[in-house]
Amino acid sequence: MSDLYEPKPEHKFTFGLWTVGSIGKDQFGVPVREPLSPVDLVYLLADVGAYGVNFHDNDLVPFDATPAERDKIVSDFKKALASTGLKVPMATANLFNHPIFKDGAFTSNDPQVRKFALQKTMQAIDLGVDLGAEVFVFWGGREGVESDATKDPLLGLKRFREALNFLCEYVIDQHYNLKFALESKPNEPRGDIYLPTTGAMLGFIPTLDHPDMVGVNPEFAHEMMAGLNFLHAVAQAWEMGKLFHIDLNDQNSIRFDQDWRFGSFSIKQSFFLVKFLEDVGYTGSRHFDAHAFRTENYEGVKDFARGCMRTYLIFKEKAARFNQDPEIQALLKEINADDGAMNNFDGIYTAEKANMLKSYRFDVKALSERGMMYERLDQLTIDLLLGVR
Ligand code: GLT
Ligand code: MN
Ligand code: MN
């Protein structure tokens, strides 16, 4: 039984170097953990049973490293990957930390900064592909404003589009096997970030020159920060064939980005998310973009990482039970019962169908009085999740 909750490579559990590597600094406090090297972090992740490790260019190679330093770092990292078997499914560029990006990267008002961002991203793409990445995430943390006096939102969109179009062409030109995944966030670090939700990203993608190369990387906490239902965003992305990656974590409602251990707070929502990913057969990474509480040392960081994966697998097992539970399934069948009386109106529009439907007499009273039994179904779900079922 307990083996069910042991992470295995086929579960595709990944962590960013910046997640387990977080040294616990925040707006109000200095770091609480000594930094570990990328190599140490690879061993830590192998120790807890992760499948892969993702990184920003500067998580691995410092911003001001010399070419010789860069080569040494990359070669040491490759050795650690080879000896642990860890994969690098995703890479990204840090376009938010350095002061040059204080007004954004692709959407900065300074043309030199915009081109510097492109240069840096092409280098980060080369690095990621060299290490095996097939997904490249774009999280435009600084792509926004504090005041709309400072930037025209149409210009913001235009610049972001032009940058992505340029980078898609670069990937095609290099013959890389790489897809882009756009990650939204409503705010923080900017007052307002452009394209603030997964839905906004999904609306933006068809305006690109190569929409087929671009999907989304929805993050649980970011959608919660906007007060939205994460599962619904993920479902829409999935239906559009755009769920290229996913950032799993947790969050206490509409607050700052807390990036908590997956499933630690929003138990029912996380359960239905896992059930969805497993039911539809999502095959991408289950990436935990979260970090340990600031109270922890590196033993606690391992507890955190193990906890993310364990909770995912507990929900996965609960999802299988939900799908097999006779009472739950019977209830769902009853709720969705269809006696075929409406079949004549199904399918494509015809004038005849429309006329028939317009004159059909519904039993409005009976339909209105029907109880949906959702309380029972929801309580059965709670019983299941709380382990009494
Ligand atoms: C940063 C952010 C995350 C993004 C990472 C990728 S960096 O930690 O909070 O949500 O996924 O750039
Ligand atoms: Mn986050
Ligand atoms: Mn994220």
Q: How many angstroms separate the alpha carbon of residue 290 from the centre of ligand 2?
A: 7
- Residues contacting ligand 1 via CB (< 6 Å): 18, 56, 92, 137, 139, 183, 219, 247, 257, 289
Residues 256 and 216 in one domain: yes
Residues 315 and 364 in one domain: no
Instruction: Determine whether 245 is an active site residue.
Output: no
Q: How many angstroms separate the alpha carbon of residue 18 from the centre of ligand 1?
A: 8
Helices (H), 212-341: 220-225, 230-239, 267-280, 298-324, 326-335
The parent domain of residue 90 ranges over 3-323
Residues 7 and 76 in one domain: yes
Catalytic residue among 57, 59, 250, 325: 59
Q: How many angstroms separate the alpha carbon of residue 247 from the centre of ligand 2?
A: 8
Quick one: tokens of 84? 């642990």
The total domain count for the chain is 2
Q: How many angstroms separate the alpha carbon of residue 3 from the centre of ligand 3?
A: 29
Beta strand residue intervals within the chain, DSSP E = 13-16, 52-56, 90-92, 135-139, 144-145, 179-183, 192-193, 214-216, 247-248, 286-288
80 close to 39: Cβ distance less than 8 angstroms: yes
pLDDT lower than 70: segments of the chain: 1-2
What atom of ligand 1 comes closest to residue 18's alpha carbon?
8
pLDDT at 3: 84
What one-letter code names the amino acid at 124?
Answer: A
Residues 221 and 333 in one domain: no
pLDDT at 2: 60
Pocket test for ligand 1, best of 183, 185, 188, 197 (most atoms within 8 A of CB): 183
Residues 217 and 166 in one domain: yes
Domain boundary residue among 302, 323, 344? Answer: 323
Residues 280 and 366 in one domain: no
Catalytic residue among 3, 40, 56, 303: 56
Residues 275 and 363 in one domain: no
Residues 181 and 216 in one domain: yes
Query: Is the peptide bond between 189 and the residue preceding it cis, with omega within 30 degrees of 0?
Result: yes
CATH code of 147's domain? 3.20.20.150
Residues 60 and 150 in one domain: yes
Q: Say how far apart CA 328 and CA 378 lie, in whole Å.
A: 9
Quick one: tokens of 281? 């057969």
Domain boundary residue among 323, 340, 367? Answer: 323
Residues 79 and 95 in one domain: yes
Quick one: tokens of 112? 């030199």
Residues 245 and 338 in one domain: no
Quick one: tokens of 169? 């062409």
Domain boundary residue among 323, 340, 371? Answer: 323
Residues 193 and 298 in one domain: yes
Q: pTM score, two decimals?
A: 0.97
| CA 102 from centroid of its chain's CA atoms | 24
pLDDT at 346: 96
Instruction: Determine whether 11 is an active site residue.
Output: no
